Amino acid sequence: MTSSVKQETVSIPYKTLIGEEFDEDVLRVIEHLTFDYESTDEELASKTGMTVNEVRKTLYKLYDSRIATYHRVRDLNTSYFIHFWKLLPVKSSILAYRKKALLTIEKLKQRLEYERNNVFFHCGTKECPKLTFEEAAESKFKCPVCSNPLQALNNEKTIEFLRNKIEELEAEVENLSKKL
């Protein structure tokens, strides 16, 4: 049973599905999960050599990313809940990721438009806010916090960063769509 799950994990882009939350622990836990409710936190800890706390933290990351889920049963002796974990069907994980990514792309595009359509002003002090042209004009091109003169900011780097991020996400979404 475990071997068939392992084989499937190779072709599943879990790293992409989890994104920035991905680390080695995630992969170790995924390798020992199956598509049936049969693994408890304790069993996974002993199989992976991780502590129960590390395993739980990782399982909740997988839960948040719609990759794993659990059902819980109350232990009649201790009255604590025992959680039984399983992997969600890959298709639903991909669909959940895609939905999240498309929302992010939409937000990044709005931000890109905003950056393109505005000139920003700043006094050069790290703690002070970035102002729009209207705000800068209103305070007569002096920082409302420290009263230093405001300078127009070059936001080319921000624009480039946003554009790259959008491209990157769009490519991921396209790749994942092929796996559905």
Q: Does residue 128 interact with Zn ion by CB under 5 A?
A: yes
Of 102 and 145, the one with the shorter C-beta distance to Zn ion is 145
Among 146, 152, 171, 174, binds Zn ion (CB under 5 A): 146
Least Å distance between CB 168 and Zn ion? Answer: 34
Residues 6+ positions from 144 with CB-CB distance below 8 Å: 129, 131, 135
Which regions of the chain does DSSP assign to beta strands (E)?
68-74, 81-87, 120-122, 131-132, 151-153
Residues 9-38 that bind Zn ion (CB under 5 A): none
Cβ contact 85:33 at 8 Å:
yes
Among 52, 102, 145, 152, binds Zn ion (CB under 5 A): 145
Q: What character string, x for contact with Zn ion (CB under 5 A) and - otherwise, covers 66-105?
A: ----------------------------------------
Binding part of the chain for Zn ion, among 76-84, 101-109, 135-143, 171-179 by CB under 5 A, reads 135-143
The Cα–Cα gap between 70 and 63 comes to 8
Least Å distance between CB 97 and Zn ion? Answer: 41
Nearest to 43 by CA among 53, 35, 52: 52
The Cα–Cα gap between 89 and 66 comes to 9
Q: Does residue 164 interact with Zn ion by CB under 5 A?
A: no
Binding part of the chain for Zn ion, among 6-14, 35-43, 144-152, 169-177 by CB under 5 A, reads 144-152
CA 39, 62, 96, 167: dihedral to nearest 10 degrees?
A: -140
